[in-house]
């Protein structure tokens, strides 16, 4: 769960400069800086499996990052800095080596403490990014993936354990079971050895 580091307004440029040398990561929400808590083993395993699947099959000219690449957003005059669990972008980085502004795909793995933020605040801010084609939200408690696409006006698509989701942004078919393959017991899937 994120906790505000301070309640005083922090200029965005100060936040960006401070993040480069910080010992821990924080996110920026229109002037407030929030410390990021560590993620559970299940959360990290799900994100890692999903990231690895994308990374090994991603087309040339694109890159994917897991949780340490900062996403910078300007939405309705406000500034935001987030660290998505997974983010992919194609083409050159028009800004600096520590931030991206042009993702085509964002994935967040939900936890009890982040669900509201991921499904409301981040959804609203992520879908305002002109380059973003898809936003994926992955449950860490049950095999459930929700996919939102720009081309369908961000209508929710739901995928369960036996489904395969098509990530049009990176041209990949992802079996939901593959995302959960190392945490089968934790999410209630039959364990196979």
DSSP string, 5-72: EESS---HHHHHHHHHH-SS-EEEETTEEEEPPPPPHHHHHHHHHHHHHHHHHPPTTEEEE-S-SEEE
Give yes or no for residue 191 having a pLDDT over 90. Answer: no
In a domain, 34, yes or no: no
Give yes or no for residue 193 having a pLDDT over 70. Answer: no
The CATH number of residue 98's host domain is 3.90.1570.10
Half-sphere exposure of residue 75: CA atoms within 13 angstroms, side-chain side: 20
For residue range 56-103, what is the model confidence (pLDDT) as tens digits?
A: 999 999 999 999 899 999 999 999 999 999 999 998 886 688 899 999
In a domain, 151, yes or no: yes
- What are the CA-CA distances from residue 57 to residues 29, 64, 94, 130, 146 (Å)? 33, 11, 24, 24, 21
Q: What is the token pair recorded at 144?
A: 């459930």
- What are the CA-CA distances from residue 170 to residues 57, 97, 106, 125, 134 (Å)? 9, 21, 11, 21, 9
For residue range 20-59, what is the model confidence (pLDDT) as tens digits?
A: 888 888 999 999 998 888 889 999 999 999 999 999 999 9
In a domain, 56, yes or no: yes
Phi, psi (rounded to 5 degrees) for 115: -55, -50
The stretch 110-114 carries a mean pLDDT of 82
- What are the CA-CA distances from residue 185 to residues 44, 46, 128, 159, 181 (Å)? 15, 12, 37, 19, 9
- Alpha-carbon gap, residue 172 to 175, rounded angstroms: 10
What total number of domains does the chain contain? 1
- Alpha-carbon gap, residue 98 to 95, rounded angstroms: 8
**pLDDT value of position 29:** 93
- Alpha-carbon gap, residue 28 to 12, rounded angstroms: 8
Range of the domain at 105: 39-72+82-179
- Pick 146 or 92 by higher pLDDT: 146
In a domain, 67, yes or no: yes
In a domain, 19, yes or no: no
- Alpha-carbon gap, residue 174 to 72, rounded angstroms: 27
Give yes or no for residue 1 having a pLDDT over 80. Answer: no
Instruction: With H, G, I as helix, E, B as strand and everything else as coil, classify residue 187.
Output: coil
Give yes or no for residue 160 having a pLDDT over 70. Answer: yes
Q: String of b and e for 117-132 (b: at least 16 CB within 10 Å)?
A: bbbeebbebbeebeeb
pTM comes to: 0.92
- Alpha-carbon gap, residue 178 to 192, rounded angstroms: 13
């Amino acid at each position: 769960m994120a906790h505000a580091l301070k309640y005083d307004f922090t200029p965005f440029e100060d936040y960006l400069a401070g993040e480069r040398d910080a010992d821990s990561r924080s996110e920026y929400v229109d002037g407030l800086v929030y410390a990021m808590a560590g993620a559970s083993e299940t959360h990290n395993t799900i994100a890692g499996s999903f990231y690895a699947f994308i990374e090994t099959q991603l087309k040339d000219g694109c890159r994917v990052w897991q949780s340490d690449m900062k996403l910078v957003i300007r939405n309705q005059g406000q500034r935001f800095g987030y660290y998505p669990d997974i983010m992919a972008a194609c083409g050159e980085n028009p800004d600096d080596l520590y931030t991206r502004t042009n993702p085509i795909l964002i994935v967040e793995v939900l936890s009890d403490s982040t669900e509201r933020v991921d499904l409301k605040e981040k959804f609203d801010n992520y879908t305002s990014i002109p380059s973003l084609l898809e936003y994926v939200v992955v449950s860490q408690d049950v095999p459930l993936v929700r996919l939102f696409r720009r081309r369908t006006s961000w209508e929710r698509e739901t995928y369960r354990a036996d489904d395969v989701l098509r990530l049009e942004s990176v041209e990949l078919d992802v079996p939901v079971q593959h995302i959960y393959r190392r945490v089968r017991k934790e999410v209630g899937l039959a364990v196979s050895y």
